[in-house]
Every structure is written in C-alpha cells, then in structure tokens.
C-alpha cells in the first residue's frame, strides 16, 4: 500500500486499505441447481467509494476487530472469518487487529461484507507474508461468499454460476448517482419471493451493450421495501428533470439504487433534484478495483 502521506493512515497508524463497493449493471437468474442454489448472470463493476480497513499484525495469534462492525457477532463477521480462513489455509503464526470504517450499508446490494473480506485476505496475504496467488485467495474467499472472488481478482467481470465463474470484461465506466434508501433488503427473502423470475434466457455481452438486460430483483425489492420503490421513482424523476437518458437500476437484490450517467456534471445535476432527506453520492464506475490500484504490485509478490 502507498503510505507516503499522513492522509493514507487509518487506525493504529497503519495504512488504509480500500474495500470498494460494487454494483450489478444487470442481474438475471437463469435457473435453479440441484442443490437449491440459483444460477445467475450478472456484470460486476466497482465504485470509487466504499469501506476502509486498517490492520496491525499481532505476534500472539489473536484476531480482533474494532470499529463500525462491533454490533455484528464476531463469529458472523466476514473480516474475522477471512483472517481465520487465511491462517487455516497457510498456517501463518500471526494474529491481527482489524479496524473497519464502514460506509457501505448492510443489506444494500453493494457487496460491503464481501469486499471487506476480500480486502482482509489480500492485506493479510501481504502482511503475513503468505505469498498466495489470486486464484488461491479467491478459492478461500468463495468459502466465505459467492461475491468475494470478484473483489479478489479486482477486474470488472461477467459472472455466471452462483457468481463464481468470472470473465474479465471492459464495459463503459459511467458516472454513478447512487442513492441509499436507508433500509435493508434481505437476500434470503428476495431469493425466496414467489414473484422472482428464475428462468431468464441466457444473454451475452452484446445483449448487455444493446440494453437488453435488467435486474430481475427490482419488482421483488419494490414489494419488500417501499423505500426502494420510492427511491427508484425519485431517480427516474431526477433523470428526466436533468434531461439525462438514464434508467434507474437496483444493485444486487437491493436496497441501493443508481443511475448510470455520461459525465460528472450530469450526475451532479441529477443529484440536486433528489429529495434532500435521501442520502446520495456521485462516484464513478471502475473496471479496476481501487484496492488493486492502491496495492503495491501483484498479489502474492
């Protein structure tokens, strides 16, 4: 990590490691597997905004976490589980203090927990001198969650299977007006909803480029969380008032919603037309993860 200036230092006087949010540019379900899980197609892209983590290596083997996730039981905390999984896989004799500065809301469909876990694996791979490559780290990460591998690999990806079959792609990198309704949408409830479309025909990148893809969770999220429905409608109205040709979208199974816009000025113009009480931010979609941009050298070196 780059540590040239004091601005890069977080808790413990240690370097901040970014854990960026992701968006799903679309999300389809193409069928159900024999184990009950769903096959999906989606396109993951990173945002230039997210959580930040700091790490301090311990010699006593203890793994402790601090910061904005202390309300989460330790055994359920993905950053703790990631550290434990890496140590189990490598036999590293160290422990670590982990401080988490949360910005990504839980239940928002922006991948906050998965991103935090991936950042933990990548950071400790360096700090504990484990020297694992990205493929091995992604395999460990998959045991923590289906979205963790895309954060490990750090490239915008076309994903299939349960989300673990990744192909690097380079779609457009629009400016994003992100809206956070302040509610959580349960992924389990969303997947269990009777109204969820589970037999979408397979699509290709050409279909995505032609605008023939969507998020099948949108009607489900609207029904489960009225705030999501209100936010999507507010984004549509803001886009129209800003004369932007953009359709509001849902990320993951919700609750975060966004517009893809051509430039920062248009994104700011649309943001000014959003309800003042609704948290929004303007950022950019990125094909390279901010974590990988900030890291020094390839994983495992």
State the pairing for strand pair 38-58/95-101: antiparallel
Residue of 51, 77, 116, 147 marked active site: 147
Task: Compute the distance between CA of residue 93 and CA of residue 266 in angstroms, rounded to an integer.
Answer: 51
Task: Compute the distance between CA of residue 258 and CA of residue 239 in angstroms, rounded to an integer.
Answer: 11
Task: Compute the distance between CA of residue 45 and CA of residue 3 in angstroms, rounded to an integer.
Answer: 26
Residue of 7, 22, 97, 199 marked active site: 22
Smallest Cα–Cα separation from 176: which of 241, 235, 255?
235
Q: Is 7 a catalytic residue?
A: no
- The rounded Cα 113 to chain-centroid distance in angstroms is 8
Q: Is 22 a catalytic residue?
A: yes
Task: Compute the distance between CA of residue 170 and CA of residue 209 in angstroms, rounded to an integer.
Answer: 11
Copy the structure tokens of residue 190.
């969303």
Copy the structure tokens of residue 171.
């779609």
Instruction: Examine residue 122 and say whether the peptide bond preceding it is cis (omega within 30 degrees of 0).
Output: no
List, by residue number, the catalytic residues. Answer: 22, 147
């Amino acid at each position: 990590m780059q540590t040239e200036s004091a601005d890069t230092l977080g808790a413990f006087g240690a370097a901040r490691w970014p854990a960026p949010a992701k968006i799903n540019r679309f999300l389809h379900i193409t069928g159900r597997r024999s184990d009950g899980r769903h096959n999906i197609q989606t396109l993951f892209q990173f945002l230039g905004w997210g959580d930040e983590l700091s790490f301090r290596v311990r010699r006593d083997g203890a793994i402790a976490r601090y910061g904005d996730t202390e309300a989460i039981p330790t055994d359920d905390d993905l950053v703790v589980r990631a550290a434990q999984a890496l140590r189990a896989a490598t036999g590293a004799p160290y422990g670590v203090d982990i401080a988490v500065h949360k910005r990504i809301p839980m239940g928002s469909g922006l991948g906050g927990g998965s991103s935090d876990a991936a950042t933990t694996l990548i950071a400790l791979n360096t700090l504990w001198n484990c020297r694992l490559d990205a493929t091995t780290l992604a395999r460990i990460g998959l045991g923590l969650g289906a979205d963790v591998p895309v954060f490990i690999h750090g490239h915008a990806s076309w994903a299939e299977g349960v989300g673990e079959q990744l192909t690097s792609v380079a779609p457009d990198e629009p400016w994003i007006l992100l809206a956070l309704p302040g509610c959580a949408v349960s992924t389990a409830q969303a997947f269990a909803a009777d109204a969820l479309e589970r037999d979408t025909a397979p699509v290709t990148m050409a279909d995505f480029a032609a605008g023939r893809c969507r998020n099948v969770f949108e009607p489900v999220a609207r029904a489960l969380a009225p705030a999501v429905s209100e936010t999507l409608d507010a984004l549509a109205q803001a886009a129209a008032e800003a004369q932007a040709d953009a359709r509001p979208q849902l990320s993951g199974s919700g609750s975060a919603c966004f517009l893809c816009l051509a430039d920062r000025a248009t994104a700011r113009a649309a943001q000014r037309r959003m309800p003042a009480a609704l948290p929004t931010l303007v950022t950019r979609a990125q094909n390279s993860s901010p974590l990988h941009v900030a890291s020094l050298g390839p994983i495992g070196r």
